Amino acid sequence: MNQHPATAPRPNPPRAGAAKDGARPHPRDVLALAPLLRNHLSPPSVVRSREPLAPHTTLRVGGPADLWVEPAAEDDLAQILNLCSQCHVPWMILGRGSNLVVRDGGFRGVVVRLSQPSFRTLTASGSTLRCGAGLPLPKLAAEARRLGLSGFEFFEGIPGSLGGALRMNAGAHGSRTFDRVASVRCMDRSGRIEERRTETIPVQYRACPLFADRVALAAVFLGEPAPESAIRERMAAFSRRRWASQPRQPSAGCAFKNPGALPAGRLIEELGLKGTRIGDAQVSLLHGNFIVNLGNATAAEVLSLINLIRRRAQEERGVALENEVEIVGED
C-alpha cells in the first residue's frame, strides 16, 4: 500500500506526527506539500490551504491549519502520513474538535479529518457493530437504538467522533468507550494497518496510549439486545441529566480530569472560581470543570484561565490538576 518509506518516528505530542528534530516547519514548506498531496490522493479527497480551525472545534477558538486534508480512503490516509514523514511536516488528526484547544497561531502542519463516507460507516451483524472512526457518537447511539442494541446510550450527547472517543477512552454516566469494544483497527505512522483485540490494548481513565502514535480507523463493538423503548428512555434520562448540569455555551467539555475521588468541578467550585472570567473565557457558572466561550474568547484567554485554576488548586488544596483537553498549535 505504501510507496513511500517512513522516516523513523520520534516521541511526539499526542495527535501530532513528527517533524524533523522537533523543528517547526515554515508555513511555506507545508504549503508546498499541497500539490504533492493533490497528485497522490484519490479524487474525492479534499486538500485546502490556510483552513480556519476555530469553526471545526466546539470551543471555537484558535488559528488556522497550514493544510487541511480529508482523505477519501485508508490508502489516501497512508499516503498523507508518508508524505508528511518524508517532508518532515507535523500532522494531527482532528475529530469533531470537542476536546481540543487550538492556540491562536494555528497549527503549522497538516490537519487530517476522517470525515469522508468511507470513514463514517456503521455495519451491524447480530449484536456486533462495526463503526468507522469518523462516525459521530450521537449517530452511533441513535443507530444502536434503532437496532435494539443497548450499551451505547451514553454516547448520545458527546459531541465527538468515534476516533476521538477511542483515543481518550471517552465516557459519561459511568460508562466508558472501551467497555464494549471487541477490537480496533488502526494505522501506524508508516501507514501500516493492524487489527487489535481489546485484551491487547491497555486503557486508562480518559486515555488509551495505543493512539499516541497510531490513528484509529474503526472499532468493533458488542451490544446488548434490549427493547428500543428502554434504550430510548435511558438516552432521554442521560440527556436531561446532562442539560441540567452542563453548560450550553461553546466549550471543550471538561477541562480537567477528575483528580481521584474529588470531582474537578466540585474542587473548582470550592475554590470560589465559578464565574471567573478572563476576556470572553469564563469558568461556567453551571459546572466548574467547563470553560465556556462567551462569544469572542481567544485561546490565550482560555489557557490563562486553565493556568489560573491549576495554580489555585495546587496552592490552596495541594491538588495537581491534569488537563483533559488537548492543546495544540502555536501562540
The window from 1-9, 131-139, 260-268, 291-299 that contacts ligand EPU (CB under 6 A) reads 260-268
Task: Determine the 3-state secondary structure of 229 from DSSP.
Answer: helix
Amino acid, single-letter form, for residue 288: G
Check residue 161 for interaction with ligand EPU (CB under 6 A). Answer: no
Please provide residue 208's backbone torsions phi and psi, each rounded to the nearest 5 degrees.
-140, 95
- Residue 95 touching ligand EPU (CB under 6 A): no
What does the alpha-carbon distance between residue 26 and residue 49 come to, in Å, rounded to a whole number? 14
Size of the site for ligand EPU (CB under 6 A): 15
Q: Does 245 bind ligand EPU (CB under 6 A)?
A: yes
Residues 6+ apart with CB under 8 A from 297: 59, 60, 61, 279, 280, 281
**Interface map 194-233 toward ligand EPU (x if CB under 6 A):** ----------------------------------------
- Candidates 258, 282, 293, 298: give the one binding ligand EPU (CB under 6 A): 258
Task: State CA 251 to chain mean position distance.
Answer: 13
Residue 289 touches ligand EPU, criterion: CB under 6 A: yes
Find the helix or strand (DSSP H, E) in which 222 lies.
strand 214-222
Beta bridge partners of 69: 47, 112
123 binds ligand EPU, rule: CB under 6 A: no
180 touching ligand EPU, by CB under 6 A = no
Which element (helix H / strand E) includes 112? strand 107-112
Per CB under 6 A, which region of 47-55, 132-140, 180-188, 262-270 contacts ligand EPU? 262-270
Grid coordinates in use for 310? 491549576
Q: Which is nearer to ligand EPU, 65 or 302 (CB)?
A: 302
Q: In 3D, which of 330, 326, 206 has the Cα closest to residue 255? A: 326
Task: Indicate the residue among 269 and 280 with the shorter CB distance to ligand EPU.
Answer: 269
C-alpha cell at 19: 517533524
Q: Which of 59, 288, 302, 312 binds ligand EPU (CB under 6 A)?
A: 288
Tell me if 324 contacts ligand EPU by CB under 6 A. Answer: yes
Residue 97 in the binding site for ligand EPU (CB under 6 A)? no
Which set of grid coordinates corresponds to residue 212?
499516541
Q: At which residue does the C-alpha cell 476521538 appear?
A: 164
Q: How far is the CB of 298 from ligand EPU (least distance, A)?
A: 21
> Three-state DSSP class for 110?
strand
Please report how close the Cβ of residue 3 comes to ligand EPU at its closest, in angstroms.
Answer: 40
Q: Where are the alpha helices (DSSP H) in 87-205?
A: 137-146, 162-168
**Helix, strand, coil % (nearest 5) of the chain?**
35, 25, 40
**Selected range binding ligand EPU among 10-18, 109-117, 132-140, 256-264, rule: CB under 6 A:** 256-264
Give the shortest CB-24-to-ligand EPU separation in angstroms.
29
| 266 sits near ligand EPU (criterion: CB under 6 A) | yes
Interaction site with ligand EPU (CB under 6 A): 172-173, 245, 253-254, 257-258, 263, 265-266, 269, 287-289, 324
